[in-house]
Structure 1
Amino acid sequence: MAANMYRVGDYVFFENSSSNPYLIRRIEELNKTASGNVEAKVVCFYRRRDISQSLIQLADKHAKDLEEEKESPSEPELSEKQKHQLRHRELFLSRQYESLPATHIRGKCSVALLNETEAVLSYLEKEDTFFYSLVYDPTQKTLLADKGEIRVGPRFQADVPEMLQEGEPDDRDQSKLEMKMWDPECPLTNKQIDQFLVVARAVGTFARALDCSSSVRQPSLHMSAAAASRDITLFHAMDTLHRHGYDLSSALSVLVPQGGPVLCRDEMEEWSSSEANLFEEALEKYGKDFNDIRQDFLPWKSLTSIIEYYYMWKTTDRYVQQKRLKAAEAESKLKQVYIPTYNKPNPNQISVSNGKMATVNGAASTGSFHTAGGGRACESCFGVQSAQWYSWGPPNMQCRLCVSCWMYWKKYGGLKMPSRAEGAEEKTPPSPAPNELRSRGHGARQSSHMVPMRNSGSPKSSMKTKQAFLLQATRLTKLARHMCRDLIRLRRAARRPFVPINCGAIKAECKSSLNS
């Protein structure tokens, strides 16, 4: 019962084709459709076989760099078979979401971020266990590391100077230091400061009563007083005190200048109701991606203004109401779903009848073993007996897998044993010719998973003709070879192909010899 219960956050196998390997996904949401079926919103994970050859080489380089960074590589050397099977356990996380029917779930698995302190063999010892270390972007076709870095060094840490002794002068450039905004040792008492802040709030309330736009936004005295008590008014009052040397009479005269009382507004007051509605709509669509919010919804607002408004908006009743609604909506969503074990026959099942292969729809008995007919063994383990056989690869090749290797293929996307084709694929040059890129990439992906490929014709059709060329030396060059042997030293230059030859000196020596 528990094995068939799938919850939000589980890593699961999805089947989208009877012959292809399972998809590996993480359940984010379980939603009930109008027809009563359950759909799962899932995060996509990709296998090595799903990405291009150039990105696979990039992933291998990243793994090699991680291996070199280890201080004490005490792990035993892996065999070729273990390396081959370890590649099948590697996945690539993506930020891509998709919705799939919950009935296509075929079991649970485990996916974890690669732990550098854990032995890689531990992933092979556990069934249905995978790891990832890179994030794949299927749109941009890029791979990025999915972890932060510890920022240590002079670029990230401040150099703390030695503590000054009593009477020792401070030689630092004061203009480069922080600006003091408030002196905690000011001559005013706490009571005097509180009284000044009360006066500042009263001036702010009076200023809003005189301002026409504020009287429309805050029609009542209670709302005006609440707006005047916000932090922007208190910050202005304390800054005024500091700038006037904590002289109360001088600071009070600044609060009420010749033209009328000072009115201080923050972003919560500056924004109109229509702008607030636009912001909430954008926040629902983009989340806290303030750059996209500004670009698509509020281009006339600065990024600083949007961020400041966001944190003020989180203190309002409107935010509290939306948070409660979202919590109630999340509570009403499905938390888990029961999917019975899938036991329908696979169309790829085959049986042996009179030594000939025949496709059947019924499952074979698990207690009996069938010998592969026609002299063909399992393409993975090369066994000749199995409780059930499955056709694999192109139909014309008539390849087959035993039960164990078929389940390995479905779960891990490859065959158990490495092949010579895979070794040849690893030696493929990283930069093929442009007109070979498409065909070679497809062939490499097939050969790396031992999928038989059909011969498309003669070898000449699949090979690129090389362009012949002739290097013809001039007479002066031929003469220089004989006249300047002490400078050229051909044998020594041939052993050092990357050290340039001083052609200028050779040319000058040759001309002087010819003139003499």
Structure 2
Amino acid sequence: MAANMYRVGDYVFFENSSSNPYLIRRIEELNKTASGNVEAKVVCFYRRRDISHSLIQLADKHAKELEEEKESPTETELTEKQKHQLRHRELFLSRQYESLPATHIRGKCSVALLNETEAVLSYLDKEDTFFYSLVYDPTQKTLLADKGEIRVGPRFQADVPEMLQEGEADDRDQSKLEEKLWDPECPLTNKQIDQFLVVARAVGTFARALDCSSSVRQPSLHMSAAAASRDITLFHAMDTLHRHNYDLSSALSVLVPAGGPVLCRDEMEEWSASEAAMFEEALEKYGKDFNDIRQDFLPWKSLTSIIEYYYMWKTTDRYVQQKRLKAAEAESKLKQVYIPTYNKPNPNQISMTNGKMATVNGAGPGSYHAAGGGRACESCYTMQSAQWYSWGPPNMQCRLCVSCWMYWKKYGGLKMPSRAEGPEERTSPSPASNSRSRGHAPRQSNHMVPMRNSGSPKSSMKTKQAFLLQATRLTKLARHMCRDIIRLRRAARRPFVPINCGAIKAECKSSFNSS
């Protein structure tokens, strides 16, 4: 029951297509529609295969820079297989939301911000675990570092200067050093300081009464007194005391100069009602991302002003009321939902009948030349599996075993690089297979090995790929000795037509014996 219970904040697999990998999402809300169905409002995560090749290069560059900054780099210790599988674990967070039917949930997973203090191989040791370090904007097609990244490493360490010896000259820029703003050992008692602060508040209240704009914003005496009691007035009073060496008479004369009482305003008074409303709207959209709030809603305000206003706004009744409304709204929403385990057969599931391969929905890729049960798994190259699934374009007649199929659905790739993704020759444990496929290496090492470039993360799914045929020595020899059975040059132009490997072997063998 617990495994099938999904709550707000869970990271889950969503299935939008029977043949494509799962989507990875985080549940933000669970809402019941008018028809009685449950919809999940989710945050989108993207895989490497979902973004452009140019952005993939930026992501790899970012990862390399982080690795170089580590005191003990680990990237060199990774094998090619580990690097290949780690790419399947990398995700890109987005600020995009979407609503999906809760019935499309296919299980839970775990997504974490890349921990620079943890070994990267630890993500491979955990099942259904992913990591991210960059934020992807699907609209602007940009990648940015997550603002919540853990600041660990040499670039975040302070440079502590050497301690000056007694009598040594200080050549530092004094304007950039800290300035003392209050002396706790001042000659004034706490009572005298409190009395001075009361006078400063009274002056601030009187100044608001004289100011026309303040009278409009704070029409009552109580509101004016409350505004004059905030930190901006107290900070000004204490700063005045410090600048006048804690001389009360001198500081009082500064509070009320010849032109009238000093009026100190903070951000709560400086902002208009319309600006406050825009800020609340921006906060609802972006959360505490103050850079985006300033850029899209309040460009005439400084970042310091917006942040200061936010923390003052949190002390108002307006904030308390909004918090209560959100709590009541959240109380009415679904907290969790039970989704039964999905056990319907996948349309890509293969059933074998009389040497034919057909998917469960009857729309299979057609004839499957099977001289030993069919092709090996495209990922682990096994010939035995409790269940097979068709994979890739139908005309390529590729299949995955049940283990590799689940890996493909969860991680969006194959456990090992596809035979179409590497130039090296691969030999299958079964020499009986005599089928060929464009973009895939034949089963025996005396065949030509097709190779192609796989620059794009989506290139493995394209049906039209340029490739070259690299001939082995035995293949070159077979071109001249097997002219009667088959013309290899002509066969290479028809890569989907099976080659009778047994006949070629027999002819080569007879030619060798006769010579």
For normalisation by structure 1, the TM-score amounts to 0.68
C-alpha contact 2:133 2:149 (8 A) present in aligned 1:
no
Instruction: State the distance in 2 between where 1:47 and 1:274 align.
Output: 41
Q: Relative to structure 1, is the Cα distance of residues 196 and 332 closer, same or farther in structure 2, using a 3 angstrom cutoff?
A: same
* Counterpart position of 1:273: 273
C-alpha contact 2:420 2:452 (8 A) present in aligned 1:
no
User: Could you say what secondary structure the match of 1:84 adopts?
Assistant: helix
Q: Relative to structure 1, is the Cα distance of residues 330 and 200 closer, same or farther in structure 2, using a 3 angstrom cutoff?
A: same
C-alpha contact 2:407 2:415 (8 A) present in aligned 1:
yes
C-alpha contact 2:431 2:444 (8 A) present in aligned 1:
no
User: Could you say what secondary structure the match of 1:97 adopts?
Assistant: strand
User: Could you say what secondary structure the match of 1:239 adopts?
Assistant: helix
Which segment drifts farther, 95-104 or 142-151? 142-151
Q: Relative to structure 1, is the Cα distance of residues 404 and 452 closer, same or farther in structure 2, using a 3 angstrom cutoff?
A: farther
Instruction: State the distance in 2 between where 1:498 and 1:349 align.
Output: 22
Residue segments in structure 1 that go unaligned for 5+ positions in a row: none
C-alpha contact 2:12 2:108 (8 A) present in aligned 1:
yes
C-alpha contact 2:94 2:138 (8 A) present in aligned 1:
yes
Instruction: State the distance in 1 between where 2:501 and 2:343 align.
Output: 78
Residue 145 of structure 1: how far off its partner (Å): 5.2
Residue 38 of structure 1: how far off its partner (Å): 1.6
Residue 15 of structure 1: how far off its partner (Å): 0.9
User: Could you say what secondary structure the match of 1:108 adopts?
Assistant: strand
Instruction: State the distance in 2 between where 1:375 and 1:477 align.
Output: 24
Which segment drifts farther, 425-434 or 291-300? 425-434
Residue 16 of structure 1: how far off its partner (Å): 0.8
Q: Relative to structure 1, is the Cα distance of residues 372 and 99 closer, same or farther in structure 2, using a 3 angstrom cutoff?
A: farther
Residue 465 of structure 1: how far off its partner (Å): 23
C-alpha contact 1:357 1:373 (8 A) present in aligned 2:
no
User: Could you say what secondary structure the match of 1:447 adopts?
Assistant: coil
Instruction: State the distance in 1 between where 2:502 and 2:407 align.
Output: 65
Q: Relative to structure 1, is the Cα distance of residues 481 and 269 closer, same or farther in structure 2, using a 3 angstrom cutoff?
A: same
Instruction: State the distance in 1 between where 2:502 and 2:71 align.
Output: 49
Q: Relative to structure 1, is the Cα distance of residues 151 and 258 closer, same or farther in structure 2, using a 3 angstrom cutoff?
A: same
CA shift digits 1:453-495 (9 cap, x unpaired): 9999999999999999999999999999999999999999999
User: Could you say what secondary structure the match of 1:261 adopts?
Assistant: coil
Q: Relative to structure 1, is the Cα distance of residues 508 and 246 closer, same or farther in structure 2, using a 3 angstrom cutoff?
A: farther
Which segment drifts farther, 99-108 or 86-95? 86-95
Residue 377 of structure 1: how far off its partner (Å): 4.5
Which segment drifts farther, 446-455 or 17-26? 446-455
Q: Relative to structure 1, is the Cα distance of residues 284 and 246 closer, same or farther in structure 2, using a 3 angstrom cutoff?
A: same
C-alpha contact 1:425 1:444 (8 A) present in aligned 2:
no
Residue 340 of structure 1: how far off its partner (Å): 0.8
Q: Relative to structure 1, is the Cα distance of residues 88 and 145 closer, same or farther in structure 2, using a 3 angstrom cutoff?
A: same
C-alpha contact 2:450 2:467 (8 A) present in aligned 1:
no
Residue 18 of structure 1: how far off its partner (Å): 1.2
C-alpha contact 2:441 2:450 (8 A) present in aligned 1:
no
CA shift digits 1:39-62 (9 cap, x unpaired): 222233333333334444555566
Which segment drifts farther, 149-158 or 122-131? 149-158
Q: Relative to structure 1, is the Cα distance of residues 483 and 369 closer, same or farther in structure 2, using a 3 angstrom cutoff?
A: closer
CA shift digits 1:218-260 (9 cap, x unpaired): 3333223222222232233333334444433343334334444
Residue 116 of structure 1: how far off its partner (Å): 6.0
Residue 117 of structure 1: how far off its partner (Å): 6.4
1:230-241 alignment to 2 at 5 Å? 230-241=230-241
User: Could you say what secondary structure the match of 1:112 adopts?
Assistant: strand
Residue 103 of structure 1: how far off its partner (Å): 0.8
Q: Relative to structure 1, is the Cα distance of residues 191 and 401 closer, same or farther in structure 2, using a 3 angstrom cutoff?
A: closer
Which segment drifts farther, 130-139 or 19-28? 130-139
C-alpha contact 2:423 2:449 (8 A) present in aligned 1:
no
Instruction: State the distance in 2 between where 1:457 and 1:147 align.
Output: 30
For normalisation by structure 2, the TM-score amounts to 0.69
Which segment drifts farther, 145-154 or 15-24? 145-154
CA shift digits 1:149-179 (9 cap, x unpaired): 8879998766667777889987766555444
Q: Relative to structure 1, is the Cα distance of residues 316 and 494 closer, same or farther in structure 2, using a 3 angstrom cutoff?
A: same
Instruction: State the distance in 1 between where 2:481 and 2:344 align.
Output: 86
C-alpha contact 1:421 1:447 (8 A) present in aligned 2:
no
Instruction: State the distance in 1 between where 2:122 and 2:484 align.
Output: 63
C-alpha contact 2:19 2:348 (8 A) present in aligned 1:
yes
Which segment drifts farther, 175-184 or 485-494? 485-494
Q: Relative to structure 1, is the Cα distance of residues 165 and 211 closer, same or farther in structure 2, using a 3 angstrom cutoff?
A: same
C-alpha contact 2:390 2:398 (8 A) present in aligned 1:
yes
Residue 100 of structure 1: how far off its partner (Å): 1.6
C-alpha contact 1:92 1:134 (8 A) present in aligned 2:
yes
Which segment drifts farther, 282-291 or 498-507? 498-507
Residue 72 of structure 1: how far off its partner (Å): 6.1
CA shift digits 1:331-369 (9 cap, x unpaired): 33222211111122322233233443444349x999999
Instruction: State the distance in 2 between where 1:424 and 1:244 align.
Output: 80
Q: Relative to structure 1, is the Cα distance of residues 214 and 507 closer, same or farther in structure 2, using a 3 angstrom cutoff?
A: farther
User: Could you say what secondary structure the match of 2:154 adopts?
Assistant: coil
User: Could you say what secondary structure the match of 2:443 adopts?
Assistant: helix
Residue 318 of structure 1: how far off its partner (Å): 1.4
Instruction: State the distance in 2 between where 1:177 and 1:84 align.
Output: 50
User: Could you say what secondary structure the match of 1:63 adopts?
Assistant: helix
User: Could you say what secondary structure the match of 2:373 adopts?
Assistant: helix
C-alpha contact 1:356 1:374 (8 A) present in aligned 2:
no
* Counterpart position of 1:118: 118
Q: Relative to structure 1, is the Cα distance of residues 93 and 360 closer, same or farther in structure 2, using a 3 angstrom cutoff?
A: same
Larger radius of gyration: 1
Which segment drifts farther, 277-286 or 495-504? 495-504
Q: Relative to structure 1, is the Cα distance of residues 182 and 510 closer, same or farther in structure 2, using a 3 angstrom cutoff?
A: farther
Residue 4 of structure 1: how far off its partner (Å): 1.2
* Counterpart position of 1:422: 421
C-alpha contact 1:134 1:146 (8 A) present in aligned 2:
yes
User: Could you say what secondary structure the match of 1:425 adopts?
Assistant: coil
User: Could you say what secondary structure the match of 2:484 adopts?
Assistant: helix
Q: Relative to structure 1, is the Cα distance of residues 496 and 311 closer, same or farther in structure 2, using a 3 angstrom cutoff?
A: farther
User: Could you say what secondary structure the match of 2:469 adopts?
Assistant: coil
Q: Relative to structure 1, is the Cα distance of residues 41 and 230 closer, same or farther in structure 2, using a 3 angstrom cutoff?
A: same
* Counterpart position of 2:101: 101
Instruction: State the distance in 2 between where 1:251 and 1:417 align.
Output: 77
Q: Relative to structure 1, is the Cα distance of residues 171 and 34 closer, same or farther in structure 2, using a 3 angstrom cutoff?
A: same
CA shift digits 1:294-314 (9 cap, x unpaired): 454445544444333222222
Instruction: State the distance in 2 between where 1:154 and 1:68 align.
Output: 11
Residue 37 of structure 1: how far off its partner (Å): 1.8
C-alpha contact 2:425 2:445 (8 A) present in aligned 1:
no
C-alpha contact 2:451 2:467 (8 A) present in aligned 1:
no
1:68-467 alignment to 2 at 5 Å? 84-114=84-114, 123-143=123-143, 146=146, 177-361=177-361, 375-424=374-423
Which segment drifts farther, 497-506 or 414-423? 497-506
Identity of aligned residues (%): 94
Q: Relative to structure 1, is the Cα distance of residues 127 and 295 closer, same or farther in structure 2, using a 3 angstrom cutoff?
A: closer
CA shift digits 1:160-205 (9 cap, x unpaired): 6777788998776655544444444444333222222222222333
